[in-house]
Structures are given as C-alpha cells and as structure tokens.
Amino acid sequence: MAFSKACFSFIVLIVLLSSTTSLAHPGFGWGGKGGPFGGGSSGLFPGFYQYSCPQANDIVMSVLRKAIAKDSRMAASLLRLHFHDCFVQVIHLSGGPNWELPLGRRDSKTASLSGSNNNIPAPNSTIQNLISLFKRQGLNDIDLVALSGGHTIGVARCVTFKQRLYNQNGNNQPDHTIEKNYFLDLKSVCPKTGGDSNISPLDLASPAKFDNTYFKLLLRGKGLLTSDEVLYTGEVGKTIQLVKRYAEDEGRFFEHFAKSMVNMGNISPLTGFNGEVRKNCRLVN
C-alpha cells in the first residue's frame, strides 16, 4: 500500500481550527475515567462535539467536498493519513461506504515522519511481508485485503512500480504477473531511465470512484504495485479468496472496509492525558 501525504495540511488546518479532531481510538478518556458526557471508559463517542461544536461534522464535510471537487486525488491523500488526523467521510464523498465513528481522540504532542512511514507497507512488499506487518499491528488477513482496496482511488509515482517493469527479481526482467498490454502501457508512462515522478492511477478503470474495480483488476493481472498484485498471486489461499469475493460482491467489500478502518483506527491509541486537541494543527498547544 502506498499513498501520498502532499495535500493534507490544508484540510487538517481548517478542520482543527474548527475544534474538531480525528478518528477515535478506544482507551482515551478524561484522566482514564470516561468522557464528560458519558460514552464509557474510553470517553469517545459520535456525539463528542455536540456541545462544544455542534456543527463540527457539517464544517468538515463542507471543506472536504470543496477540496475533493478541486482535486479528486485529495481523497486518496486523506485515506493514507488515516493513521494521523482525518474524518473518514472522505471515502463517502468518493462514492464509497459511510460509517459512524466515535470522536474525541487526542492529537500527539510529537510527530515522526519516519515513524509513520514505518507503519505503512512498502510498494514492493511480498505477501509474507504484508501479512507479518499487519499482524504486528493487530490486524488480520481480512483487514489487509480490505484496506488494500483503498487503492481503488488515487495514483502512484513511477518510482514505486518501476522495479516491476524492469528488474523485479534482480535479473533485469519484468514481473511476469503483469498483464501484457497493461505492462506496455505502464512502460510508456514509466521509462527505464528517468520519469520517476510520473504518475499512474492505482485503479486504471475508475481512479476517482471508490468501488470494487480494484479487485477485478487484480484478477486480470492489472494491479499497479507489487503489494497490490501479490494479494492474488502470492499463493496465500485466504487473500486469494478475499480478492475474488470482493471482486464479486462490492457490498461485502464496503462492509469489511468500514470495519477494517475502525480496526486500523484502534492501533496504538493515545489514552488518558496523553496528547491534546490542538488549536492549530501545525503547532502543539
């Protein structure tokens, strides 16, 4: 899975200046004793801002609609940053599923670009690497395949898939799992020398629509990244069956994607008095 961070700061700035925060993680509470308005021991619940900022959701949705209308790639950029600060309604605005999440998660008082990138699989990951990385985060094979389906929107730079075209296994040969015509198309976008910043859609058929076409393309050898195609060609029965299932049943993909986004949001939560709700996303309070 490989996503771009470039366009997110503008959205977060407006969102956080509107007194909203990000996806919820269980375990956060006001001193570990629950929230001011109930919601259990975590202190997180969908109505977290109903008193302090009752228009929070409307404000965020308005900003996201404008941003995505201006640049459809914004949806994919925000999706990548789910680990940080974003409202998942961005998926709904791209035609995908919508779901309710508890709100009120604290922001970190520190930031680490390298630390964040270490939690995101490399574009040339093998299926074994992917399964292992997700397992370390407490996620399973369903989460892996469902969340990979987020590549139904967005683009990737040539540098992330060049290896597949020219030197997949260190023998100066392409990845034999790429469909022939797709391979030729990619070579025209991504030459052997130069062009590293050239881009190609992760889903060549419907790159701006959140749907299950990504999985249909994997069945045809048209996954852009190694980490995409190995879900089907990596000889792991569970992931192969999930790719087939999601290709056949978009509703099931949407259902599993929503659940897996919640699961991913529950990784390494800030709890108690750790973290803060920033007044300005660029600065610690």
pLDDT of residue 186: 98
Annotation: CATH topology of 121-264: Peroxidase; domain 2 (1.10.420)
pLDDT of residue 115: 64
Q: Which two tokens stand for residue 269?
A: 């939560």
pLDDT of residue 7: 30
Q: Which of 84, 92, 176, 256 is catalytic?
A: 84
Q: Which two tokens stand for residue 194?
A: 């130069």
Cβ distance 59 to 20 under 8 Å? yes
Q: Which two tokens stand for residue 35?
A: 């929230």
pLDDT of residue 56: 80
Place of tokens 């999601």: 246
Residue 193 known to bind ligand: no
Q: Which two tokens stand for residue 47?
A: 């109505």
| HEC secondary structure over the chain | CCCCCCCHHHHHHHHHHCCCCEECCCCCCCCCCCEECECCCCCCECCCCCCCCCCHHHHHHHHHHHHHHHCCCHHHHHHHHHHCCCCCHHHHCCCCCCCCCCEEECECCCCCHHHHHHCCCCCCCCHHHHHHHHHHCCCCHHHHHHHHHHHHCCEEEHHHHHHHHHCCCCCCCCCCCCCHHHHHHHHHHCCCCCCCCCEEECCCCCCCCCCCHHHHHHHCCCCCCHHHHHHHHCCCHHHHHHHHHHHHCHHHHHHHHHHHHHHHHCCCCCCCCCCECCCECCECC
Q: Has 82 been annotated as catalytic?
A: no
pLDDT of residue 123: 92
pLDDT of residue 279: 77
Residue 143 known to bind ligand: no
Q: Which residues are 156's β-sheet partners?
A: 200
pLDDT of residue 71: 72
Residue 249 known to bind ligand: no
pLDDT of residue 113: 67
Closest CA to 276 of 112, 116, 164, 111: 111
Extents of the domains making up the chain: 8-116, 121-264
**Which pLDDT tens digits describe the chain residue by residue (285 residues)?**
433 333 333 333 333 333 333 333 333 333 333 333 333 334 566 777 788 788 887 887 788 788 777 876 666 566 555 544 333 334 444 556 666 666 777 777 776 666 666 767 889 999 999 999 899 888 999 999 999 998 998 889 999 999 999 999 999 999 999 999 999 999 999 999 999 999 999 999 998 888 999 999 999 999 999 999 999 999 999 999 999 999 999 999 999 998 888 787 777 766 567 788 777 777 888
pLDDT of residue 37: 31
Residue 141 known to bind ligand: no
User: Distance between CA atoms of 275 and 172, rounded to whole angstroms?
Assistant: 48
Q: Which residues are 103's β-sheet partners?
A: 23, 45
